[in-house]
Chains A and B, each alone.
Chain A
Amino acid sequence: AQKITQTQPGMFVQEKEAVTLDCTYDTSDQSYGLFWYKQPSSGEMIFLIYQGSYDEQNATEGRYSLNFQKARKSANLVISASQLGDSAMYFCAMREGRTGNQFYFGTGTSLTVIP
């Protein structure tokens, strides 16, 4: 079974609108971490936001927030007030355990922001 599932290969959003990128995960560990990375067309992987499984509050970083629903095993990324520079691939990743050595990545969602 896939550890991380991103079901939206491509998404479009109007500039200044909010968009939600879906991510579901599969683990039997009680302790784990969830990450989102952005990969623009230039290719580098940029860390956006982190959510620990025991964190009670949803993580937020500027215009990024993580909608963490533990019972549903989902960790959706919400980008508010989309900008043209947000056009990129977005990857969800999970670390199992508190100090797991491996990150499991999803297949990514391509986001295009329309002016």
Chain B
Amino acid sequence: NAGVTQTPKFRVLKTGQSMTLLCAQDMNHEYMYWYRQDPGMGLRLIHYSVGEGTTAKGEVPDGYNVSRLKKQNFLLGLESAAPSQTSVYFCASSPSLGDTQYFGPGTRLTVL
């Protein structure tokens, strides 16, 4: 089992560019999450999904969109990247709501 994987590991964007981060899990988990981690702060929830075809906003959703077309995949999109979105992005999944979340390795994104 690969667990939770994220693509890409690193990315540099210019302001205004768009990109999509891919998260995949092979644990058959229903719930998936996107977090961002900034220096000196804990992880903050961006969006989450409680099942295929469903998404919901977390604590810091502005500037991001997500989609969950397949149970095993959860995509995070930035339509027009801003320097404030420079961060490390983590995807996580859990078998049920409130259960332990298992994290991917993270994507380090820099927006110039």
For residue A47, CB closer than 8 A to chain B, the reply is: yes
Instruction: Report Cα–Cα, A91/B41, bound state, in Å.
Output: 10
Interface residues of A in 68-115 (CB under 8 A from B): 91, 93, 95, 97-108
A78 → chain B closest CB, angstroms: 19
Chain A residues near B88 (CB-CB < 8 A) = 43
Instruction: Report Cα–Cα, A57/B80, bound state, in Å.
Output: 49
For residue A13, CB closer than 8 A to chain B, the reply is: no
Chain B residues near A98 (CB-CB < 8 A) = 98
Instruction: Report Cα–Cα, A103/B42, bound state, in Å.
Output: 10
For residue A50, CB closer than 8 A to chain B, the reply is: yes
For residue A11, CB closer than 8 A to chain B, the reply is: no
User: Is A91 a contact partner of B42 (Cβ separation < 8 A)?
Assistant: yes
Number of B interface residues at 8 Å Cβ cutoff, please give it. 26
Interface residues of B in 94-112 (CB under 8 A from A): 96-98, 100-106, 108
Size band of the interface chain A makes with B: 20 to 34
Interface residues of B in 43-86 (CB under 8 A from A): 43-45, 48, 50, 56, 58-59
User: Is B45 a contact partner of A103 (Cβ separation < 8 A)?
Assistant: yes
Instruction: Report Cα–Cα, A100/B50, bound state, in Å.
Output: 12
A41 → chain B closest CB, angstroms: 12
User: Is B42 a contact partner of A105 (Cβ separation < 8 A)?
Assistant: yes
For residue A21, CB closer than 8 A to chain B, the reply is: no
Chain A residues near B45 (CB-CB < 8 A) = 101-103
Instruction: Report Cα–Cα, A91/B35, bound state, in Å.
Output: 14
User: Is A4 a contact partner of B100 (Cβ separation < 8 A)?
Assistant: no
User: Is B42 a contact partner of A47 (Cβ separation < 8 A)?
Assistant: no
Instruction: Report Cα–Cα, A46/B92, bound state, in Å.
Output: 11
Instruction: Report Cα–Cα, A33/B100, bound state, in Å.
Output: 9
Chain B residues near A102 (CB-CB < 8 A) = 45, 48, 58-59
For residue A55, CB closer than 8 A to chain B, the reply is: no
A104 interface neighbour in B42, B96, B103, Cβ under 8 Å: B42
Contact sample, A vs B, 8 pairs, CB 8 Å cutoff:
A35-B100, A44-B105, A45-B106, A93-B43, A99-B97, A101-B31, A101-B48, A103-B45
